[in-house]
Amino acid sequence: MVNIKIEGVSYQVEEGLTILEAARKCGYEIPSLCAFDHGECNTGSCRVCLVEVKGARGLVASCVYPVNEGMEITISSPAASEARRASVELLLSNHNQNCQQCDKNGKCELLHVASLTGAREGKYLGSKTPVTVDDLSDFIVRDTSKCILCGRCVARCKNAHGMGILGFENRGFQTIVAPAEDRSFANSPCIGCGQCVSVCPTGALMEKSEIARVDAAFKAGKHVVVQTAPAVRAALGEEFGMKVGTPVTGKMVAALKRLGFHKVYDTNFAADLTIMEEGTELLGRIKNGGTLPMITSCSPGWINYAEYNYGDLLPHLSSCKSPHQMQGAVIKSYYAEQKGIDPKDIFVVSIMPCTAKKGEKERGQLQVDGLKDVDAVLTTRELAKLIKRAGILFERLPDEDFDQDLMGDYTGAGVIFGVTGGVMEAALRTVYFVLTGKEHEKIAFEAVRGFEGVREASIDIDGMIVNVAIAHGMKNAKILLDEIRAGRSKYHFIEIMGCPGGCIAGGGQPVVRPCFLPHEDDDILDTYKAKRAAALYSEDERQALRQSHNNPQIKKLYDEYLGEPNSHRAHELLHTTYAAREGFGE
Query: What are the φ and ψ backbone dihedral angles of 204, each rounded to 5 degrees?
Result: -70, -30
* Helix, strand, or coil (residue 484): helix
280 pLDDT more than 80: yes
> What are 443-452's pLDDT values in tens digits?
889 899 999 9
pTM of the model: 0.95
Report how far Cα 70 is from the mean position of its chain's Cα atoms. Answer: 41
What pLDDT, on a 0 to 100 scale, did the predictor assign at position 38? 54
- Taking the CA of residue 60 as centre, how many other CA atoms within 13 Å lie in the half-sphere pointing to its CB? 19
- Judge whether 137 lies within some domain: yes
* Helix, strand, or coil (residue 280): helix
Q: Which of 207, 225, 243 is the last residue of a domain?
A: 207
Query: What are the φ and ψ backbone dihedral angles of 379, each rounded to 5 degrees?
Result: -75, 170
Q: Which residues contact 207 (CB under 8 A, 6 or more apart)?
A: 139, 140, 141, 194, 197, 355, 358, 379, 381, 382, 507, 508
User: Same domain for 467 and 348?
Assistant: yes
* Neighbour count for residue 296 (Cβ, 10 Å): 24
| Average pLDDT over all residues of the chain | 94
Q: CA–CA separation, 87 vs 117, rounded Å?
A: 9
37 pLDDT more than 80: no
Whether the bond into 66 is cis, omega within 30 of 0: no
User: Same domain for 478 and 357?
Assistant: yes
Report how far apart, in Å, the C-alpha atoms of 427 and of each of 117, 265, 344, 549 are.
52, 22, 33, 10
User: Same domain for 203 and 261?
Assistant: no
User: Same domain for 250 and 186?
Assistant: no
- Judge whether 99 lies within some domain: no
Tell me the residue ranges of DSSP E strands in 70-186.
Answer: 71-74, 133-134, 140-143, 167-169, 176-178
- CATH number of 393's domain: 3.40.50.1780
Q: CA–CA separation, 95 vs 148, rounded Å?
A: 8
* Residue 586 pLDDT level (bands cut at 50, 70, 90): very low
- Judge whether 58 lies within some domain: yes
- Judge whether 124 lies within some domain: no
- Judge whether 404 lies within some domain: yes
Q: Which of 189, 207, 225 is the last residue of a domain?
A: 207
> What are 482-519's pLDDT values in tens digits?
999 999 999 999 999 999 999 999 999 999 988 888 88
Pairing verdict, β 223-228 and 346-352: parallel
- Judge whether 98 lies within some domain: no
- CATH number of 155's domain: 3.30.70.20
> What are 301-324's pLDDT values in tens digits?
999 999 999 999 999 999 999 999
- CATH number of 19's domain: 3.10.20.740
- Which candidate, 237, 117, 201, 110, places its Cα nearest to that of 520? 237
Q: CA–CA separation, 459 vs 479, rounded Å?
A: 21
| Per-residue b or e along 27-47, where b marks 16 or more CB atoms closer than 10 Å to that residue's CB | ebebbbbbbbeebebbbbebb
Pairing verdict, β 50-53 and 9-13: unpaired
User: Same domain for 176 and 61?
Assistant: no
- Judge whether 456 lies within some domain: yes
Contact between residue 117 and residue 81 where contact means Cβ atoms under 8 Å apart: yes
- Judge whether 123 lies within some domain: no
* Residue 128 pLDDT level (bands cut at 50, 70, 90): very high
Length of the chain in terms of residues written? 586
User: Same domain for 142 and 273?
Assistant: no
Tell me the residue ranges of DSSP E strands in 118-231.
Answer: 133-134, 140-143, 167-169, 176-178, 205-207, 223-228
> What are 526-550's pLDDT values in tens digits?
899 999 999 999 999 999 999 999 9
What pLDDT, on a 0 to 100 scale, did the predictor assign at position 96? 93
User: Same domain for 50 and 147?
Assistant: no
What pLDDT, on a 0 to 100 scale, did the predictor assign at position 585? 47
Q: CA–CA separation, 48 vs 33, rounded Å?
A: 7
What pLDDT, on a 0 to 100 scale, did the predictor assign at position 519? 87
User: Same domain for 403 and 521?
Assistant: yes
28 pLDDT more than 50: yes
470 pLDDT more than 70: yes
The mean pLDDT value for 89-111 works out to 92
User: Same domain for 53 and 202?
Assistant: no
Domain count, the chain: 3
The mean pLDDT value for 61-69 works out to 93
Domain of 19, in residue numbers:
2-92
User: Same domain for 408 and 344?
Assistant: yes
Q: CA–CA separation, 20 vs 74, rounded Å?
A: 12
What pLDDT, on a 0 to 100 scale, did the predictor assign at position 42? 65
Q: Which of 160, 176, 207 is the last residue of a domain?
A: 207
Query: What are the φ and ψ backbone dihedral angles of 408, each rounded to 5 degrees?
Result: -95, -20
* Helix, strand, or coil (residue 466): strand
> What are 220-260's pLDDT values in tens digits?
999 999 999 999 999 999 999 999 999 999 999 999 999 99
